[in-house]
Structure 1
């Protein structure tokens, strides 16, 4: 089998102990060195503090790994040429013997294949602005519509078309619940300005929904648990609105299109908020990781 599951993760899965999947794109492409490795180790430690086993996922030399040791984490953080892999890239990376960090879609797919049920990330991809012109939509959405996993996130990136993304998730049959809120979070922001239909208040309630998915033999789709960044750690909404508007104008003026749009906008926000957007991003990820650990523990209690 091409999938390599670490001994610690395999033993935890076999013993029905809690496990939390973590993506590796934030390590290889989301943060500067050496902060990226420090954050990777911090997030794994946060999972352990909640009583769960971390399963950071990446592809190394053509082998998808679910669970990395410290040497492998260091390699993802420090090696030049680490690619960014969505789920569509996995067969190509495996065949080519390439190494890459996994995005949301690739992480969710590999985690589910390994038997990991809970995955923590920052913000999801979604429908891009000007979709009627560009037809640009994240591959995350289609993969989540066909993968049985629970994703704890801070909503979708606020640079996207949030209402269109929520509508698309509904069309795809992907369940979305706010955690302790009836508002859909906006990644850097606690509230994107749009509501959610369902609210879950405890990890046990989330685990109950996961069990209901299985009992109903429901379609193999994701449960999205939208966990807002705390208000005192969010990006100032007025600053966010102003800088995002400037970023969108700059993107259009420079003729940036397609896959280059998201990294350009995110980079612009970091630069023009003096790093405040990155701080809000990390605050969201930390909160999501801790909550995912508690959900995994609640799921394991009655598994």
Structure 2
């Protein structure tokens, strides 16, 4: 079912809705957008499909409806069903789609998994207010020479959505990423914390001006942004792991240092940097980083579900 009625702005995607999401849209129920890159590219098989289902179950347990977004044979789907989830999880030919790639993938009939940028853009076009992910992309180390910066940042600057995440991966330049978010007009608030999380670790070492203490308070911010009508950018809710659930900080720092050194020796640059370093973390920590990654996305999905329900109840 394609439906773009009532949409404004530059995003007019030809969207098909899964049955559960279509019903939720009709009834005005809370919906949480979910990315599909974690299924196709972020987790190893068979964990990827199991975790994808667990993420959706976590959202449902809050009273919200999960809307995993992806592309199947050129069809942009908001609310992949289980067969479609399995297809993206098992296929070796799933394209990684940022927002710029959507039209190209649709026209060529591709299967694709949406990144933070693409998921945010499509969710906003579908009228979904809340999106749960693991961590944002950001400014890469040595960006002053390479100009390597994630498309997530620019997309969030022009997309009115609330993104629940665990900050940005510590393999990036966290300070530069926060500066770019500020320059681009993207609001950032910690959840019950004034410290920006570093994905695997609870505290990246950088402070935030704002902290929000409950799902209801975040829902109030969502409605205040609508009422004021000022700015089109996203609200980033940075949700840190409890300290007892983070990757051991000493192990994290040592792993990051050796990973950066090996990356430099191998001449790894550009798009290959993130998968190289994440694979190094998985290997060097003997899977501990993967377990932390899963805890992150499940916690973010749970908080996003509570925010979406609170926002729906507030009208």
TM-score (normalised: structure 1): 0.99
Distance 2:294 2:167 in 1: 14
Distance 1:117 1:7 in 2: 19
Q: Which residue of 2 aligns with 1:257?
A: 269
Shift of residue 218 of structure 1? 1.6
- The answer as to 2:236 corresponding to 1:232 is no
Q: Secondary structure at the match of 1:166?
A: helix
Q: Which residue of 1 aligns with 2:6?
A: none
Shift of residue 137 of structure 1? 0.3
From 59, 81, 92, the equivalent of 2:104 is 92
Distance 1:166 1:80 in 2: 35
In the TM superposition, 1:176-195 aligns within 5 A as 176-195=188-207
Distance 1:141 1:25 in 2: 17
Q: Which residue of 2 aligns with 1:212?
A: 224
Shift of residue 8 of structure 1? 1.7
Shift of residue 80 of structure 1? 2.0
Q: Which residue of 2 aligns with 1:126?
A: 138
Q: Which residue of 1 aligns with 2:210?
A: 198
Q: Which residue of 2 aligns with 1:50?
A: 62
Q: Which runs of at least 4 in structure 1 moved beyond 4 Å after TM superposition?
A: none
- The answer as to 2:40 corresponding to 1:28 is yes
- The answer as to 2:29 corresponding to 1:17 is yes
Deviates more, 1:186-195 or 1:74-83: 74-83
- The answer as to 2:297 corresponding to 1:295 is no
Distance 1:186 1:244 in 2: 12
Deviates more, 1:229-238 or 1:9-18: 9-18
From 149, 153, 167, the equivalent of 1:155 is 167
Distance 2:256 2:20 in 1: 42
Q: Secondary structure at the match of 1:68?
A: coil
Distance 1:163 1:80 in 2: 35
In the TM superposition, 1:64-143 aligns within 5 A as 64-143=76-155
Distance 2:45 2:255 in 1: 25
Query: Any conservation in 2 of the 1:175–1:224 contact (CA below 8 Å)?
Result: yes
Q: Which residue of 1 aligns with 2:296?
A: 284
Query: Any conservation in 2 of the 1:5–1:114 contact (CA below 8 Å)?
Result: no
Shift of residue 34 of structure 1? 1.4
Task: For residues 148-181 of structure 1, give each alpha carbon's deviation from its aligned partner in whole angstroms, at most 9, with x where no partner exists.
Answer: 1000000011100001100100000000000010
- The answer as to 2:206 corresponding to 1:169 is no
Q: Secondary structure at the match of 1:191?
A: strand
Aligned pair count reads 303
Shift of residue 68 of structure 1? 1.0
- The answer as to 2:53 corresponding to 1:41 is yes
Distance 1:46 1:181 in 2: 23
Q: Secondary structure at the match of 2:29?
A: coil
From 271, 275, 292, the equivalent of 2:283 is 271
Shift of residue 33 of structure 1? 1.4
Distance 1:252 1:79 in 2: 31
Distance 2:273 2:245 in 1: 26
TM-score (normalised: structure 2): 0.95
| RMSD over equivalenced CA pairs, Å | 0.8
Q: Secondary structure at the match of 1:73?
A: helix
List alignment gaps of at least 5 residues for structure 1.
none
Deviates more, 1:27-36 or 1:158-167: 27-36
